[in-house]
């Protein structure tokens, strides 16, 4: 029996790009390592050596895909893009792994995408009616078809023309014969930043990928911006649609790494504020604060700072089990959780414990954890969640459980508390969440909490995507 361990929404992809470095592939490789949390099912790099493209793409983690020195040695060229991908179970196919590469009359092109196009089916049908033949079932391939068919003269106009027709979330790295191009959708759902090292330019989903290269963070690609890196340096263009941005607030709660900077703020700082706000809204008399590692560590520290209650490591997470596991002892209760977490009994025994969790999707893992903590001797268990209840699915590039599987859309908070067997349960309010993140130059999508979708999803499209195995990135 194969067991999966995930009980959280998941980000689907990471993108990387490097322009003008003799070891471009090595830079991308290291960056993809840092961005492994954004996608663990496939990884790939495509390089460009004076217009000849080389690729290495396979299923698995970065460390598995590029396991031989020869894999990297083959990837010559001073421009490169890379991608880590996660896709929904059952749709995991090597053919959909990115970067996607095609030949066109303008030369070879490659693309890496993080996001989801909400009008992909309409575009897909139209392109097929016009004779396009699709090689994959990802929505990303649509971009390449649109660029190749655009009647505009210059490459930049082809890109703008194509991206103007696409609705949804996209942070892209596109490589042509002579250029590296970065694009972010007008609402800026997913992050994308620019760095520089030794005269080379770098595009990355998160700034932690720049840190590993010791590269300088320059800035974010703005929502609705197209940046081109070529022999003239960087140039900036705009997509036509001008609209208030709605960056994904969940990136601050859970998806992005705390050592990254996104949407103009350090994730660590924003996440700490979430914990502090949670403490202000939902204080409790307790002896120790613990986190559900690793994603809740920072919020738990914020909660501890605000309350003055001691933070302790009460749960140890096993980092070496991978995302799936062959279940050897099917009868062992709570096995899935026990293989991943173990309690530190000395910290918990006879103590009133606050458990800080960043979010609850199905609630099944947390229920096991509460039981585990009680068995380890905790006297009281108070669950505090550093985000509001997740009520709705995401259509902008996150893999969420269905609405029916989201516990908060099926139960009241009191019913969830009872399900978890916690002494108390409180969530951060939506207002508290918005007050914890920088608001000056940034608007946010909060749709999974509020139901207010920045782009109304076409449910027929979503249904069709699901029924036909069309996957998003
Ligand atoms: Fe982020 Fe909006 Fe998706 Fe929620 S619905 S995960 S806030 S993009």
Residue 285 lies in a domain: yes
pLDDT of residue 268: 98
pLDDT of residue 458: 66
Q: Which band of pLDDT confidence, cut at 50, 70 and 90, is reported for residue 76? A: very high
Which of 79-83, 335-339, 462-466 has the lowest average pLDDT?
Answer: 462-466
The CATH number that applies at residue 109 is 3.60.20.10
Residue 25 lies in a domain: yes
Same domain, 207 and 321: no
pLDDT of residue 9: 65
Same domain, 285 and 230: no
Q: Ligand 1 centroid to 83 CA: how many Å? A: 21
Q: With a 6 A CB cut-off, is 447 part of the ligand 1 pocket?
A: yes
The CATH number that applies at residue 331 is 3.40.50.2020
Q: What is the pLDDT of residues 245-262, one digit of tens each?
A: 999 999 999 999 999 999
What's the chain's average pLDDT?
91
Residue 457 lies in a domain: no
Which residue among 246, 275, 301 closes a domain?
A: 246
Same domain, 238 and 376: no
Q: Which band of pLDDT confidence, cut at 50, 70 and 90, is reported for residue 471? A: very low
Same domain, 240 and 286: no
Domain count for the chain, please give it: 2
Q: Is the pLDDT of residue 283 over 90?
A: yes
Residue 281 lies in a domain: yes
Residue 461 lies in a domain: no
Q: Is the pLDDT of residue 3 over 60?
A: no
Q: Ligand 1 centroid to 252 CA: how many Å? A: 11
**Who contacts 264 (Cβ-Cβ below 8 Å, separation ≥6)?**
220, 438, 441, 442
Q: What is the pLDDT of residues 413-446, one digit of tens each?
A: 999 999 999 999 999 999 999 999 998 878 999 9
Residue 299 lies in a domain: yes
Same domain, 195 and 105: yes
Most confident of 61-65, 303-307, 361-365, 392-396: 303-307
Same domain, 288 and 166: no
**100 contacts 140 by C-beta, under 8 angstroms:** yes
Tokens 């003269």 locate to: 153
Mutate to test the pocket of ligand 1, among 274, 358, 446, 456 (most ligand atoms within 8 A of CB): 446
Q: Which band of pLDDT confidence, cut at 50, 70 and 90, is reported for residue 399? A: confident
Nearest CA to ligand 1 atom 8: 248
Q: Across residues 184-188, what is the average pLDDT?
A: 97
Same domain, 309 and 430: yes
Statement: the pTM of the whole predicted model exceeds 0.85: yes
Same domain, 161 and 300: no
pLDDT of residue 372: 96
Which residue among 246, 279, 306 closes a domain?
A: 246
Same domain, 172 and 133: yes
Q: With a 6 A CB cut-off, is 394 part of the ligand 1 pocket?
A: yes
Instruction: Tell me the C-alpha distance between 247 and 458, whole Å.
Output: 20
Residue 213 lies in a domain: yes
Q: Ligand 1 centroid to 190 CA: how many Å? A: 10
Q: Ligand 1 centroid to 291 CA: how many Å? A: 23
Same domain, 219 and 283: no
Q: With a 6 A CB cut-off, is 398 part of the ligand 1 pocket?
A: yes
Q: Is the pLDDT of residue 329 over 60?
A: no
Nearest CA to ligand 1 atom 1: 248
**Burial class of residue 409 in the structure, from the number of CB atoms within 10 Å of its CB (0-12 exposed, 13-18 middle, 19+ buried):** middle
Higher pLDDT, 413 or 119: 413
Q: With a 6 A CB cut-off, is 248 part of the ligand 1 pocket?
A: yes
Same domain, 231 and 356: no
Which of 44-48, 108-112, 195-199, 453-457 has the lowest average pLDDT?
Answer: 453-457
**Who contacts 139 (Cβ-Cβ below 8 Å, separation ≥6)?**
113, 116, 117, 120, 124, 470, 471, 472, 473
Instruction: Tell me the C-alpha distance between 242 and 171, whole Å.
Output: 16
Same domain, 241 and 276: no
pLDDT of residue 88: 46
Please confirm whether the linkage preceding 206 is cis (ω < 30° from 0).
Answer: no
Nearest CA to ligand 1 atom 3: 394
pLDDT of residue 90: 35
Q: Which domain holds residue 370?
A: 267-441
Please choose, from the candidates 74, 98, 103, the residue with its C-alpha nearest in 3D space to the C-alpha of residue 87: 98
Q: With a 6 A CB cut-off, is 250 part of the ligand 1 pocket?
A: yes
Which of 244-248, 348-352, 393-397 has the lowest average pLDDT?
Answer: 393-397
Q: Is the pLDDT of residue 1 over 50?
A: no
Q: What is the pLDDT of residues 44-72, one digit of tens each?
A: 999 999 999 999 999 999 999 998 888 89
Percent of the chain with pLDDT over 70: 90
Mutate to test the pocket of ligand 1, among 188, 398, 403 (most ligand atoms within 8 A of CB): 398
Q: Ligand 1 centroid to 107 CA: how many Å? A: 36
Residue 227 lies in a domain: yes
Q: Which band of pLDDT confidence, cut at 50, 70 and 90, is reported for residue 2? A: very low
Q: Is the pLDDT of residue 223 over 60?
A: yes
Active-site residues: which are they? 13
pLDDT of residue 464: 47
């Amino acid at each position: 029996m194969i067991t999966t361990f995930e009980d959280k929404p998941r980000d689907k992809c990471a993108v990387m790009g490097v322009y003008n470095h003799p070891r471009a592939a090595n830079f991308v490789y290291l960056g993809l390592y840092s961005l492994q949390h954004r996608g663990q099912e496939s990884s790939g790099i495509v390089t460009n050596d004076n217009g000849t493209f080389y690729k290495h793409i396979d299923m698995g983690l970065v460390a598995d895909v590029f396991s031989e020195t020869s894999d990297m040695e083959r990837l010559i060229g001073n421009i490169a893009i890379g991608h880590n991908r996660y896709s929904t179970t059952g749709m995991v196919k090597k053919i959909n792994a990115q970067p996607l590469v095609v030949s066109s009359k303008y030369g070879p092109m490659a693309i890496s995408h993080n996001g989801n196009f909400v009008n992909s089916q309409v575009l897909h049908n139209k392109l097929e009616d016009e004779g396009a033949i699709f090689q994959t079932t990802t929505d990303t391939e649509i971009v390449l078809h649109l660029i190749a068919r655009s009647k505009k003269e210059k490459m930049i106009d082809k890109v703008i023309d194509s991206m103007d027709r696409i609705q949804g979330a996209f942070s892209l790295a596109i490589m042509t014969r002579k250029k590296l191009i970065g694009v972010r959708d007008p609402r800026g759902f997913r992050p994308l930043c620019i760095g520089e090292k030794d005269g080379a330019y770098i595009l990355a989903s998160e700034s932690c990928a720049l840190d590993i290269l010791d590269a300088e963070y320059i800035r974010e690609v703005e929502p609705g911006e197209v940046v081109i890196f070529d022999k003239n340096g960087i140039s900036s263009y705009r997509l036509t649609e001008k609209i208030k941005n709605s960056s994904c607030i969940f990136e601050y709660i859970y998806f992005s790494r705390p050592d990254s900077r996104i949407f103009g703020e350090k994730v660590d700082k924003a996440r700490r504020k979430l914990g502090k706000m949670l403490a202000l809204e939902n204080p409790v008399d307790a002896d120790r604060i613990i986190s559900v590692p690793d994603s809740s560590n920072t919020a738990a520290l914020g909660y501890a700072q605000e309350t003055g209650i001691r933070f302790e490591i009460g749960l140890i997470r096993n980092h070496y089990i991978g995302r799936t596991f062959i279940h050897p002892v099917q009868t062992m209760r709570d096995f899935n959780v026990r293989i991943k977490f173990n309690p530190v009994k000395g910290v918990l025994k006879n103590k009133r414990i606050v458990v800080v969790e960043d979010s609850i999707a199905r609630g099944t893992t947390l229920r096991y954890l509460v039981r585990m903590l009680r068995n380890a001797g905790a006297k009281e268990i108070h669950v505090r969640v550093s985000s509001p209840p997740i009520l709705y699915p995401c259509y902008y590039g996150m893999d969420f459980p269905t609405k029916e599987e989201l516990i908060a859309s099926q139960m009241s908070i009191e019913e969830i508390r009872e399900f978890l067997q916690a002494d108390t349960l409180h969530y951060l309010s939506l207002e508290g969440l918005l007050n914890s993140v920088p608001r000056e130059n940034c608007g946010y999508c909060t749709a999974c909490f509020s139901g207010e979708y920045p782009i109304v999803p076409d449910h027929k499209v979503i249904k069709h995507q699901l029924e036909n195995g069309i996957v998003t990135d």
